[in-house]
Amino acid sequence: MARSASKPKPISLALQGGGAHGAFTWGVLERLSECETLDIQAITATSAGAMNAAAYLSGLQTGGPAGAREALETFWQTVSRKGSVMDAMGASSAAGDFMASNPFTTWTPHNFATAMTSFLSPYDLNPFNLNPLKEAVQSTIDFDAVRQSSVQLFIAATNVETGRVRIFKDEEITMDAVLASACLPQTFKAVKIDGTPYWDGGFLGNPSLFPLFYSEAPKDIVLVTLNPIERKGTPRSAGEIQDRLNEITFNASLLGELRSIAFVQKLLNDGLLNKAVRSHYRNLNIHAIRGGEVLSGLRLESKYDTSWRFLNELREKGRGHAEKWLEECHDSIGKTSSLDIHEAFLGN
């Protein structure tokens, strides 16, 4: 691929959440940070994507691209050391005992925990609100540096009381905002910010794209997805059904926003908007590094696998697919979308 020595091309990133699968995004960010012909100027992110973004910007502000890569690795090393959420809550040993006495089931520790949370909440199971993710975020990310970064950051969380998405930005970017964005209500107590409870942002924005529309963010948006859109076949086991329900739920908001983008783009391209209305919209170039397709063979419980070997495997997959995207789509940046939204995400 020919690379010019001209000014780096500005891009926006949109990072999905997905638990430990976020290590794929780690690899993507690592590879993109090495590309001197791209300039990441804005990031919208949710859950694990928000943690990746905060770690990246923390290191970028204090040590440039090399510092960003170091901060990401330190964050994921810490996540691995802290172990899985279930291990921290003691669920794995209980699940092991249950499975040993139940040869007729195909239960996993994750499925056991899911069943437990169907009638017991984290207020019952985790009264002290133990959260190894909080320790990892707190010990590795400098939020003063994140707020000082020139890169715009938007983090989505779900307002429990209103059922609406809340976008944190600028001085609102704190450790609590990141933890709220990653707060699965079956696992953790709601994160309160100024007295308002918040849950995982993935319910309403995974990630939220609209903050990029109403800011000075670059019009080239690179989606980094972790959840497969399509999955052939009918799920039959309880675990498979739950897996697919989670994928559908956490993709719904993104698909809705992509439909809106596709509709507005068609109106703009067909000249169906008058000048006054058209001035409020702009053509966007959509690109995607589709981790969901790469990770589709992994079961839901792998999102809780924080072993260093597994995280590094995902990191290498992320690096590899970012490299492939650079080779195939880099020249489209600033000119046109490198994928058809309808074909890639909205087909029947």
pLDDT tens for the chain, 348 residues long, are 445 457 999 999 999 999 999 999 999 999 999 999 999 999 999 999 999 999 999 999 999 999 999 999 999 999 999 874 434 333 333 333 333 333 333 334 445 455 555 567 777 767 767 788 899 999 999 999 999 999 999 999 999 999 999 999 999 999 999 999 999 998 899 999 999 999 999 999 999 999 998 888 999 999 999 998 888 899 888 878 888 888 898 889 999 898 888 888 788 777 777 776 666 677 889 999 999 888 988 877 888 899 999 999 999 999 999 999 999 999 999 999 998 887 777 665
Per-residue CA distances from 1 to 109, 290, 318 (Å): 46, 21, 20
CB atoms within 10 A of CB 158: 25
Closest CA to 252 of 202, 180, 178: 202
Closest CA to 53 of 13, 19, 104, 3: 13
Q: Strands (DSSP E) along 216-324, which ranges?
A: 220-225, 285-290
Q: Identify the H or E element spanning 180.
A: helix 175-181
pLDDT, residue 163, reads 97
pLDDT, residue 279, reads 62
pLDDT, residue 174, reads 98
Pull the structure tokens for residue 10: 């500005």
Pairing between β-strand 38-45 and β-strand 285-290 as defined by DSSP bridges: unpaired
Pull the structure tokens for residue 266: 């068609």
The distance in angstroms from the start CA to the end CA of the chain is 34
pLDDT, residue 162, reads 98
pLDDT, residue 127, reads 74
- Chain centroid offset of residue 280 CA: 28
Alpha carbons 296 and 230: distance in angstroms, whole number:
9
Alpha carbons 134 and 91: distance in angstroms, whole number:
19
pLDDT, residue 73, reads 98
Q: What residues does 191 pair with on adjacent strands?
A: 198
pLDDT, residue 109, reads 47
